[in-house]
Structure 1
Amino acid sequence: MTDQAQEEVAARWNQNADQWTNDVRNGYDVYRDLFTFPAFQQCLPPIAGLEVLDFGCGEGSNTRHFARMGAKVTGIDISQGLIEHARQAEVADPVGVTYKVASYSSDTGFPASSFDAVLSTMALMDGPDFQGAMCEAYRLLRPGGFVAFSVLHPCFITPGLQWQKDEHGRTTGLCVARYFDRSSFTEHWKFGNRPTGENVVPFAVPRFPRTIGDYLNAVASAGFRISRIEEPQPTEEACKTVPRFSRWRDLGAFLLLVVAERPI
């Protein structure tokens, strides 16, 4: 990762930090609440009693869930602003999480073999050096430890993604294009279920497209043994609550989950 790329990612997420924290904690991130995090939990091996590091912890909501599952958790994020929000939540309602400002793609400052598990939820696609992240995860894990991460599914969430609709406006298909275009870009968006009429500045999120081969080969070349790959669909209950989720149940995969072990 170049220093310039790292600084750009940090600057963007510092700009997003206050609004992101407000939106996540007020339930506007329905994808996280009803789909991506429950799917991650279902795929996750037991973590009670383990020393866990959360790569790209953000404002700490998922990190705190890991602590409540019985793990001893440390969270790192490149954004000082997000880490400050995470620390404030820990002060207000302590669950035993320690936070640090650090990039997950370079030396995090922890000694080698410090953790039993490295977890990351929907964060690794937002950094420019995934290979570096896997190498650092391998360095930090004890033999027999594991890494588990979720990312946007690279085969379907491509730079040229477009929904196809029929003459009645019903979504009937997903067009995937520019799959091999690895050009980085900044995506501007906001949570779709915010109250009508609110004037909110969209988030600016750096994106670094990769192929599925880029992801899996980086995991393997770092020394891990891949033990599980999942492409979960939203549950029927989630689709009833948020009808647009049915697109990801029926037409394409939104989420890629990977679990890989550091050999003993």
Structure 2
Amino acid sequence: MIDISDSDVAKRWNGNADQWTRDVRDGFDVYRDQFTFPAFLDALPPINGLDVIDFGCGEGTNTRAFARLGASVTGIDLSTRMIEHARQTKEADPLGIHYQVGSYSDHSGLPDASFDAVLSTMALMDGPDLSGAMREAFRLLRPGGFLLFSVLHPCFITPGLGWEKDAVGRATGLRVARYFDRSSFTEHWRFGDRPKDEDVIPFAVPRFPRTMGDYLNAVVSAGFVLTAIGEPQPSLAACEAVPRFARWRDLGAFLLLVTAKRPSA
């Protein structure tokens, strides 16, 4: 097992940041655009007028969407380069967002009980200390505030994932293996909709596999009360726009959404 620290994660995402930002803003992240972020918004309670912090905000696309819903938003991310991109966009399109470099698993320096909601979109599976992130989320929330996060579904996106295919290459089943293998590793990939002949260096993305129990127990152990678990399927419209999404509609779950509340007393 190779231990990957916060500093390793920051280094990787600093290296990914420029290409990632271009790709996301050029529409190559079709999973986010067509599926994972719309599903997150469907699960999100109204946030107009609320103080919100976005854990693992990256270059800020989702953070800006939260601000446009009427929230007063803070974004935090380990990657200085990602935050630089977020701040540059802030200058061109001011939405009153405060961006901060730091780990969502450490004490951020922000005051206790200073937010109504902690949100995180597809980021918590990429950090080594989930329990620390949950404790920091609990500390930052006001009594009665809520936590909502999305991650790759731990029961299906396992280290031994593989597709079973028929004679013409059509996916007929999903192979899940090594569910309990929590060894951290770095995954190398590029957005699938980029032209195949483009000379693009693959992203290096640290991964920290966990079980469903690891996620839910970290939430409960921090003091939260679980209020909803979501396992959304891609919509029919999304499957028409991106046909390969049908695999995740028919054969296995790609996304896990967890909602929890800090008790009022």
Q: TM-score, normalised by structure 2?
A: 0.98
1:54-73 correspondence to structure 2 within 5 Å: 54-73=54-73
Match of 2:221 in 1: 221
2:32 alignment partner, SS class: helix
Q: Is the 8 A contact 2:165 2:173 kept in 1?
A: yes
- 1:27 corresponding residue in structure 2: 27
Identity %: 72
Provide the C-alpha distance between the structure 1 equivalents of 2:196 and 2:112, rounded to a whole number of angstroms.
49
Given that 2:4 and 2:184 are in contact with CA atoms closer than 8 Å, whether structure 1 keeps it comes out as: no
* Cα RMSD, aligned residues only: 0.9
Q: Which amino acid aligns with 2:56?
A: G
Matching residue of 1:127: 127
Do residues 98 (structure 1) and 98 (structure 2) align?
yes
User: Which 5+ residue runs of structure 2 have no aligned equivalent?
Assistant: none
Corresponding residue for 2:163?
163
Residues 92-119 of structure 1 show CA distances to partners (whole Å, capped at 9, x for unaligned) of 1111111000100011110110100000
Give the secondary structure class of the aligned counterpart of 1:39.
helix
Deviation for aligned residue 1:31: 0.2
Number of the residue aligned with 1:260: 260
Equivalent AA in structure 2 for residue 93 of structure 1 = D
- Residues 163-199 of structure 1: per-residue CA shift (max 9 Å, x gap): 0001221110000000000000000000000123111
Deviation at 1:4, TM superposition (A): 6.7
1:200-225 residue CA offsets vs partner (Å, 9 max, x unmatched) = 00000000000000000000010000
Which letter maps to 1:165?
K
Residue type of the alignment partner of 1:104: Y
The aligned counterpart of 2:199 is 199
Are 1:210 and 2:210 an aligned pair?
A: yes
Instruction: Check the 8 A contact 2:183/2:209 in 1, yes or no.
Output: yes
**CA contact 2:134–2:222 (8 Å) conserved in 1:** yes
Correspondence for 2:117: 117
- Aligned residue pairs total 262
1:214 maps to a residue whose letter is: D
Unmatched tracts of structure 1, length 5 or more: none
**Displaced runs of 4+ in structure 1, greater than 6 A?**
none
Matches of 1:166 and 1:182, distance apart in 2: 31
For 1:179 and 1:260, locate their aligned partners in 2 and report how far apart those are by CA, in whole Å: 24
Aligned pair 1:81/2:81, yes or no?
yes
In structure 2, relative to structure 1, the CA distance for the partners of 1:118 and 1:244 (3 Å cut) is same
Which has the larger displacement, 162-171 or 66-75? 162-171
CA distance in 2, matches of 1:16, 1:26: 15
